[in-house]
Structure 1
Amino acid sequence: MSQTTATPTARLPRQIPFIIGNEACERFSFYGMRNILVQFLVSSVILAYVPEAERQGVAKDVFHSFVIGVYFFPLLGGWLSDRWFGKYNTVLWFSLIYCAGHACLALFEDSRNGFYTGLFLIALGSGGIKPLVVSFCGDQFTQANKHLAKLAFDGFYWTINFGSFFASLLMPLFLRNFGPAVAFGIPGVLMFIATFIFWLGRKQYVRVPPTRGEDPHSFFNVARSALLAQAPGQGRAGLLVAGFGVLLALAMLACWALQAAFGISVPYWPADFHFVITACLALGALIAFGGIGVSMQLERARGLHPDAAVDGVRAVLRILIVFALTTPFWSLFDQKASTWVIQGKAMTVPHEAWWWPSWLVKEAGQMQALNPLLIMLLIPFNNMLLYPALRRIGFEPTPLRRMGWGIAFSGVAWIIAGLIQLQIDSGAQTSLALQTWPYLLLTFGEVLVSATALEFAYSQATVAMKGVIMAFWYLTSTFGSLWVLLTNAAVRNDVVTAKIAATGYSENAVLMFFFAAFAFVAALAFAAYARTYPMQDNYRAA
């Protein structure tokens, strides 16, 4: 790719405000419903069939299953965009599905089927557009003004949290004072406004055409050639590994089907592994073993495809390893809207304190507003103060270094959350204000991981794979919630429950310390891999 020198006088593309405005409203709509979902379900007729003592656990399962869907459907959106419709059309059409999902939540607050249909449509719509809006924003830049892309990506992430802040702060109050129809209806209105703003910029956008499957040297074509090509005197071990992944995925789905459809108990297959868990495990097997198999035989694709295409596939496989190592972070992060909200409800709101804003913050669910508020403060703090200070002392905060440290900070946040839980378990009156500290550390970790990853994922992907690679990035949240569902299923096992009881600590406290340790192990593995990762530059030429 020819390199064009960045122009110092280059200006931010004038269509960027439409994309950022759309994202601010869309994020309000998403977080507005997401952050009240658990507390609504715990007390709603939707879960009336569940014994009251088990409702919190079931509500968490529903929440994380929803999150899995949200971050699974980017695969579909990325594929449709790259192969058929392009980013603009795909975003617009999925946004309309998104609006329909919000309407279902507002209309069917007392109907399990109607409400779950709404959750499915929101997961489909939100997930379908999720990888595309970010990469569509990146498409508006060239080599001449790519130095402004970081500002746009930071601004993009800042507006996400601007919308999320007001949604997190206000929607619990609307749910409390006006009921679920209003609380779920307002996010629906914001999603309609988001779609309208995006449509307004239609004549100004740069639209990179879809590949329509016509690229003979695409990622999937090169990967297929690598797996199927034969080398004289050599077997096809990579194909066997990839085939094993397919068989393993099919076996998992078959185990679930035998139990769910026919009531047949399958040895060594847990009964608690419902469809969402099984499908995610099957997808993970396909990606892991398929990627290993392609990597083993990738050099066989040379000669059948240009060296640049083969090297591009190698780069994508390396990116997937980076992505996989961030999944533990998301298992911690997404629980702030489930586990931390439930913990907060057992704490005391310090209304008597002179510094507590009692006129506004009235319940535990509103503490989630700290996350976007802190992000809006931390992004400029990092860019203007922290990163320059680190560079002055000789430490370059590269994207991979930032992401590794972000995972570690999330672990520290969960240690503090665990200590708070121990205080709650002791029967001592515990102020809700203490949750400020884990929120601060988790948010700092999020800025280092997620805000950085938007820039990292776009710059590392080749032109034909930008939509799909962004979809794989968002898929990390799917597997993050999978870790949570697997852990929740494990603690229903009598043996595990007995071991937790033997520690003398509550199940909640043990799980919090477990997830903290999980994050520290992941941070160490991430740091080890990052030392050998070769960075790429795949912005398009002017």
Structure 2
Amino acid sequence: MSSNASSVDIKDGNGPLPRQIPYIIANEGCERFSFYGMRNILTPFLLSTLLLFIPAEHRTSEAKHVFHTFVIGVYFFPLLGGWLADRYFGKYNTVFWFSLIYVAGHACLAIFEHNINGFYFGLGLIAFGSGGIKPLVVAFVGDQFDQTNKNRARLVFDAFYWIINFGSFFASLLMPVLLRDYGPSVAFGVPGILMAIATLVFWMGRRKYVHVPPAAPNPDSFSSVARTALLAHKAGQSRPGLMVAGVGALAALISLCMAPQWGFVIAFCTALVLLLAFGCFGVSMQLDRARGMHTAEAVEGVRAVLRILIVFALITPFWSLFDQKASTWIVQANAMNSPQLSLFGWDFTLLPAQMQAINPILVMLLIPLNNVVLYPLMRAIGINPTPLRRMGAGIALSGLSWIAVGAIQLNMDAGDRVSIFWQLLPYALLTLGEVLVSATGLEFAYSQAPKPMKGIILSFWYLGTTIGNLWVLIVNAGVKNDTVSGHIASTGLSESAFQMFFFAGFALVCAGLFALYATRYKMVDNYRKA
């Protein structure tokens, strides 16, 4: 009976959990502690120590610029890591070597606490190392599953996201205290030690992993099919797709030329967005021209990727809002009242950066609550919580969280003394949105990606965060314009409140567009065969 039940489970995709998963989960928990530990104290450290040479009225803007530039780097380098893993070194080797670079970056932060060039170099190494491994660990988890146990993958992806927040929770509580009581060297050194442990744990499981080899050079790859589609010429027909891609290339070149006025990061990222948007649209216009020169499967694979990229693009506003909890929300918390608390006889005052601990603890509670209570209840009343529905709702909730934080700012601007605990509501709304978008998105990205492009498609998922933070830099730069600042003044709102409501509206509009597109998207199953 048990043997028959086991065979039924395997046939239905409910086979046993791979034994190597704990190594990857433990590695992720330590790595996320190291990352969030340094990230969550970055803005307070910049404001209190590294940027003191900047006039006080400009220090907050510069700290936000540095923070979001760093985040842009973290989520840009997955493109490089995914490409190297898929084409040359495989996921395991790429993760291991990028992790060593990551550890070196942490060492620089601890050593160069008062040297701006050395500190920024360390941030660059962390962005390079963290970004390089970011899409690969998720894809590496997916590689450990096949058709016999694919249904276990959703639970593991949730566990994966849960352990990320387990590490983030303790990092958010401890690192601000270490920064205050022991200084930057210790506060940035501890995350470095955790990253070294993460690398060691990952190495220890090397003989147990399923290693999917890099893809051989493929004449039917995404780039090959896209290039053929753009360049293919049919007698008596123009090439409108190529013209559209050319317009994008010209616009990207103009963007790069604006670097002296906009700054390199904004100009470069804008150029990248223009190339991707116009290029992909041009390919979609002429994709059928690649038929006959490439397999039908390859052409449909490209079509699938283009459809996925539209989903990713519509999620970028969520990242604009989510990542500002470690910059804009900390700045707001700095100006709020923090009452003294008592816990088991220990009296303490909550630090502004420690408010970020609310996010991971709520994630750890909401993920099992959603799986055990919310989703079954929705199915019982006839509503299927599909990945796209979850992500669309998450974007909308992030918009509501910024309406809440904007309302708090209005009270502060009116002179009211506001408790830091009023931020609990926006944190709760944003965290629920995060669970619905981010945890779901990891599963969606892996399951929808064609086999040869899983690393790259997950890199595009993370690139969405780069674009989301680009919107933040653009808005922050825009409010420095006299015309824009004059318009804000005419509304009667402070600059901070105006930006909060602007981002809220941005997210809500895109949530509506996402819902419309979701009705046309057809889900596929791209887990590997047993």
Matched, 1:227 2:230: yes
Moved more, 294-303 or 501-510: 501-510
SS at the partner of 1:536? coil
Match of 2:15 among 6, 10, 13: 10
Q: Distance in 1 between matches of 2:311 and 2:269?
A: 19
Q: Distance in 2 between matches of 1:227 and 1:365?
A: 49
SS at the partner of 1:119? helix
Q: Distance in 2 between matches of 1:526 and 1:194?
A: 37
Mapped contact 1:490–1:496 kept (Cα < 8 A): yes
Q: How does 1:75-86 map to 2 (within 5 A)?
A: 75-86=79-90
Q: Determine the structure 2 residue equivalent to 1:27.
A: 32
Q: Determine the structure 1 residue equivalent to 2:171.
A: 167
Q: Determine the structure 2 residue equivalent to 1:150.
A: 154
Q: Determine the structure 1 residue equivalent to 2:386.
A: 398
Matched, 1:178 2:182: yes
Q: Tell me the amino acid that sits aligned with residue 395 of structure 1.
A: I
1:253-306, Cα deviation, whole Å (9 max, x unpaired): 1232xx3xxxxxxxxxxx2x1101011000001100110111011001111111
Q: Distance in 2 between matches of 1:441 and 1:360?
A: 26
1:415-435, Cα deviation, whole Å (9 max, x unpaired): 110111111111111111111
Match of 1:119 among 118, 123, 136: 123
Matched, 1:476 2:481: no
Match of 1:321 among 284, 288, 310: 310
Q: Distance in 2 between matches of 1:75 and 1:438?
A: 32
Q: Tell me how many residue pairs correspond in the alignment.
A: 522
Alpha-carbon spacing, 1:54–1:349, altered in 2? closer, same or farther (3 Å): same
1:373-404, Cα deviation, whole Å (9 max, x unpaired): 00000000000000000111110000000000
Q: Determine the structure 1 residue equivalent to 2:424.
A: 436
Q: How does 1:441-520 map to 2 (within 5 A)?
A: 441-520=429-508
Q: Determine the structure 2 residue equivalent to 1:374.
A: 362
Matched, 1:64 2:53: no
Mapped contact 2:37–2:175 kept (Cα < 8 A): yes
Mapped contact 1:131–1:467 kept (Cα < 8 A): yes
Q: Tell me the amino acid that sits aligned with residue 193 of structure 1.
A: I
Mapped contact 1:351–1:358 kept (Cα < 8 A): no
Alpha-carbon spacing, 1:512–1:387, altered in 2? closer, same or farther (3 Å): same
Structure 1 residue 7, shift from structure 2 partner: 4.6
Mapped contact 2:340–2:349 kept (Cα < 8 A): no
Q: Distance in 2 between matches of 1:359 and 1:248?
A: 57
Structure 1 residue 231, shift from structure 2 partner: 1.5
Identity across aligned pairs (percent)?
A: 64
Q: Determine the structure 2 residue equivalent to 1:414.
A: 402
Mapped contact 1:6–1:146 kept (Cα < 8 A): no
Mapped contact 2:38–2:188 kept (Cα < 8 A): yes
Q: Tell me the amino acid that sits aligned with residue 26 of structure 1.
A: E
Matched, 1:541 2:519: no
Q: Determine the structure 1 residue equivalent to 2:510.
A: 522
Alpha-carbon spacing, 1:360–1:27, altered in 2? closer, same or farther (3 Å): farther
Alpha-carbon spacing, 1:359–1:538, altered in 2? closer, same or farther (3 Å): farther
Q: How does 1:189-200 map to 2 (within 5 A)?
A: 189-200=193-204
Match of 1:241 among 238, 244, 252: 244
Alpha-carbon spacing, 1:404–1:8, altered in 2? closer, same or farther (3 Å): closer
Moved more, 231-240 or 314-323: 231-240
Q: Determine the structure 2 residue equivalent to 1:38.
A: 43
Mapped contact 1:6–1:147 kept (Cα < 8 A): no
SS at the partner of 1:12? coil
Structure 1 residue 360, shift from structure 2 partner: 5.3
Gaps of 5+ in 2: 1-8
Matched, 1:297 2:286: yes
Q: Tell me the amino acid that sits aligned with residue 241 of structure 2.
A: G
Moved more, 199-208 or 357-366: 357-366
Q: Tell me the amino acid that sits aligned with residue 116 of structure 1.
A: Y
Alpha-carbon spacing, 1:357–1:67, altered in 2? closer, same or farther (3 Å): farther
Mapped contact 1:400–1:530 kept (Cα < 8 A): yes
Alpha-carbon spacing, 1:221–1:499, altered in 2? closer, same or farther (3 Å): same
Q: Tell me the amino acid that sits aligned with residue 202 of structure 1.
A: R
Structure 1 residue 498, shift from structure 2 partner: 1.2
Mapped contact 2:340–2:348 kept (Cα < 8 A): no
- TM-score, L = length of structure 2: 0.97
Mapped contact 1:75–1:471 kept (Cα < 8 A): yes
Q: Distance in 1 between matches of 2:258 and 2:515?
A: 37
Structure 1 residue 351, shift from structure 2 partner: 1.6
Q: Tell me the amino acid that sits aligned with residue 433 of structure 1.
A: F
1:86-108, Cα deviation, whole Å (9 max, x unpaired): 10000000000000000000000
Structure 1 residue 242, shift from structure 2 partner: 1.2
Q: Determine the structure 2 residue equivalent to 1:110.
A: 114
Mapped contact 1:96–1:125 kept (Cα < 8 A): yes
Q: Distance in 2 between matches of 1:424 and 1:356?
A: 32
Q: Distance in 1 between matches of 2:74 and 2:349?
A: 28
Moved more, 130-139 or 221-230: 221-230
Matched, 1:335 2:311: no
1:179-219, Cα deviation, whole Å (9 max, x unpaired): 0000000000000000000000000111111114x111111
Q: Distance in 1 between matches of 2:399 and 2:349?
A: 27
Q: Distance in 1 between matches of 2:346 and 2:511?
A: 38
Structure 1 residue 6, shift from structure 2 partner: 3.7
Alpha-carbon spacing, 1:363–1:108, altered in 2? closer, same or farther (3 Å): same
Mapped contact 2:139–2:446 kept (Cα < 8 A): yes
Match of 1:215 among 210, 213, 218: 218
Q: Distance in 1 between matches of 2:227 and 2:30?
A: 41
Mapped contact 2:339–2:350 kept (Cα < 8 A): no
Q: What stretches of structure 1 move > 3 A for 4+ residues in a row?
A: 4-9, 354-361
SS at the partner of 2:340? coil
Structure 1 residue 247, shift from structure 2 partner: 2.1
Q: Distance in 1 between matches of 2:20 and 2:254?
A: 48
Mapped contact 2:339–2:349 kept (Cα < 8 A): no
Q: Distance in 1 between matches of 2:230 and 2:14?
A: 48
Q: Tell me the amino acid that sits aligned with residue 218 of structure 1.
A: S
Alpha-carbon spacing, 1:527–1:9, altered in 2? closer, same or farther (3 Å): closer
Alpha-carbon spacing, 1:11–1:285, altered in 2? closer, same or farther (3 Å): same
Mapped contact 1:350–1:356 kept (Cα < 8 A): no
